[in-house]
Amino acid sequence: GENVEQHPSTLSVQEGDSAVIKCTYSDSASNYFPWYKQELGKRPQLIIDIRSNVGEKKDQRIAVTLNKTAKHFSLHITETQPEDSAVYFCAASSGNTPLVFGKGTRLSVIA
């Protein structure tokens, strides 16, 4: 089955700097890659997703890139703000199988 590895497990950045979180997956049939943000004590919430027919997707300060050959995808947050502090999860699915989540990255944005 699918296996998703996520790095780093913790990340601290200064406010205004960029943050990058990387994930790798094992199943070459995976074609859907969402990212979730979970604030302390809250539910995971979808922030951006990408499908295998696209190499990059942007939404304001966040972007996701996908390299299907290398089987890895990344989340990029630019101009980080304190409210970006949260745990971020990547996930992967082949479409007819459930999402498999990475272990999460705890991002701290230091003001």
Partner 1 sequence: DAGVIQSPRHEVTEMGQEVTLRCKPISGHNSLFWYRQTMMRGLELLIYFNNNVPIDDSGMPEDRFSAKMPNASFSTLKIQPSEPRDSAVYFCASSPQTGLYGYTFGSGTRLTVV
Instruction: Compute the Cα dihedral for 50, 52, 44, 14 and give only its sign.
Output: negative
Which string of x and - marks every residue 32-71 that binds partner 1 (by CB under 8 A)? Answer: x-x-x-----xxxxx--x----------------------
Euclidean distance between CA atoms 90 and 99, whole angstroms: 9
- Contact status: 11 vs partner 1 (CB under 8 A): no
- Contact status: 73 vs partner 1 (CB under 8 A): no
Element holding 104 (H helix, E strand): none
Element holding 29 (H helix, E strand): none
- Contact status: 97 vs partner 1 (CB under 8 A): yes
Euclidean distance between CA atoms 89 and 6, whole angstroms: 8
CB of 78 to partner 1, least distance (A): 22
Q: Which stretch binds partner 1 (CB under 8 A): 15-23, 31-39, 57-65, 75-83?
A: 31-39
